[in-house]
């Protein structure tokens, strides 16, 4: 599909902006932002300044418009398609009908590699394989694994538990068809960002508790894991840092309209009575993110339950950084760290 001229011009302008000398970028971004003992990275602050100048928001007036906007935004923030990474379409059978997915394979990767079943972010309402294509490509290339990126159903057309059902179906398919997908059945991880991190955590919990096949590793990037309370980070960073308090409410009202269901561990895995026996996890949070504190609380709960967990806070970044690979170096560095953790985690946990 051809990129609209306006988007191409905006993308070029954004890329050129990030090549300007640091003092010029600082002048455009404004004075450094310091909050809660942290200083926002210049790359992230410049992105927020561009968002402010353009008047764009993460969510708009309509679901359809918001979905279109996030898919188009990849041309502005994600950079050129990461190569050499091959891709092919995969169809995952599910009870309600087939789920589309894309399998990304780095060039030269042998058969029997590790594999990540990846669930994109977007508040269970927006986002897609399209919006997260370069994120999936990046993880595949730098973690040296296959990445199966899943197009699960979205709310409000398909509210909870539909996305969870699809996420489970995708993992079960990946495990059952691992050899056909070129992967090692014992080296399958689940992962995602934000709402996708939530789904990955829920899949790890549900598969472990039911017995039978379960993931070997969890890659949870600024995951949403507790819809029951408002933590301090939501009060501190709920306005002006890309993901807003208003957007979080908008997403949850569509995903789980009934507040009484938000304490279900399949919505809020942090509230599960027993987290023991879950796969090892890498949990990344962003310092200037409303979701920061719940992700870190989940890491603490996992560790208390005896689960091996690595918690990394990227103190100078904002929510969404794994999608901002085309803007500066800082977001790429943080995402590369997650890819490295995935590579090590699947190597360490083979045959778990």
Quote the CA–CA distance of 124 and 122 in Å, as a whole number. Answer: 6
3-state secondary structure of 30: coil
Spatial separation of the C-alpha atoms in residues 326 and 46, rounded to whole Å? 13
| Token pair listed for 132 | 């997260």
**β-bridge pairing 113-119 and 183-193:** parallel
Give, as one character, the DSSP assignment of residue 216.
S
Q: What token pair was written down for 140?
A: 């595949």
How many of the other CB atoms lie within 10 Å of CB of 196? 33
Contact 145, 115 (CB under 8 A): yes
Contact predicate 187/222, CB 8 Å: no
Do the beta carbons of residue 87 and residue 109 sit within 8 Å?
no
Please confirm, yes or no, whether 194 is among the known catalytic residues.
Answer: yes
**φ, ψ of residue 27 in degrees (nearest 5):** -60, -40
Nearest to 120 by CA among 154, 94, 165, 72: 154
**Active-site annotation holds for 289:** yes
In sequence order, which residues have a C-beta less than 8 Å from that of residue 148 and are 6 or more positions away?
90, 101, 102, 103, 104, 115, 116, 117, 118, 170, 174, 181
For residues 334, 303, 116 and 133, what is the CA-based torsion angle, rounded to 10 degrees? -40
Q: How far apart are CA 32 and CA 173, in angstroms?
A: 47
User: And the tokens for 202?
Assistant: 């829920």
Question: How far is 60 from 126, CA to CA, in rounded Å?
Answer: 11
Q: Which helix (H) or strand (E) holds 308?
A: none
Tell me which of 226, 264, 289, 293 is the catalytic residue: 289
Q: Which of 194, 233, 266, 268 is catalytic?
A: 194
Residue whose tokens read 């689960």: 307
User: HSE of 4 in the Cβ direction (CA atoms, 13 Å)?
Assistant: 10
Rounded CA separation 30/22 (Å): 12
Whether 175 is a known active-site residue: answer: no
Q: Which residues are catalytic?
A: 194, 289, 319
């Amino acid at each position: 599909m051809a990129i609209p001229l306006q988007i191409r011009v905006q993308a070029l302008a954004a890329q050129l902006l990030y090549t300007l000398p640091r003092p010029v970028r600082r002048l455009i971004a404004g004075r450094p932002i310091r909050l809660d003992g942290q200083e926002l990275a210049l790359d992230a602050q410049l992105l927020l300044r561009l968002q402010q100048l353009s008047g764009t928001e993460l969510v708009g007036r309509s679901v359809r418009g918001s979905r279109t906007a996030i898919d188009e935004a990849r041309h502005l923030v994600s950079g050129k398609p990461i190569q050499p990474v091959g891709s092919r379409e995969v169809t995952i059978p599910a009870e309600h009908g087939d789920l589309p997915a894309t399998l990304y394979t780095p060039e030269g990767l042998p058969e029997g590699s590790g594999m990540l079943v990846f669930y994109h972010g977007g508040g269970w309402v927006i986002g897609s394989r399209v919006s997260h294509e370069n994120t999936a490509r990046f993880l595949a290339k730098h973690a040296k694994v296959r990445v199966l990126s899943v197009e699960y159903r979205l709310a409000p057309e398909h509210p909870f538990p539909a996305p969870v059902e699809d996420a489970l179906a995708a993992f079960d398919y990946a495990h059952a068809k691992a050899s056909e997908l070129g992967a090692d059945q014992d080296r399958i991880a689940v992962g995602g960002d934000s709402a996708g991190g939530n789904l990955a955590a829920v899949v790890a919990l549900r598969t472990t508790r039911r017995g039978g096949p379960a993931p070997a590793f969890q890659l949870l990037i600024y995951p949403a894991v507790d819809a029951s309370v408002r933590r301090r980070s939501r009060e501190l960073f709920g306005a002006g840092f890309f993901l807003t308090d208003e957007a979080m409410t908008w997403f949850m009202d569509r995903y789980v309209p009934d507040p009484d269901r938000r304490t279900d561990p399949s919505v809020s895995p942090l509230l599960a009575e027993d987290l023991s026996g879950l796969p090892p996890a890498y949990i990344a949070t962003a310092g200037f993110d409303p979701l920061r504190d719940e992700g870190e609380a989940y890491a603490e709960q996992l560790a208390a339950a005896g689960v091996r967990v690595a918690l990394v806070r990227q103190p100078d970044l904002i929510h969404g950084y794994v999608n901002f690979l085309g803007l500066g170096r800082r977001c790429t560095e943080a995402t590369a760290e997650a890819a490295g953790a995935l590579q090590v985690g699947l190597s360490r946990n083979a045959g778990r």
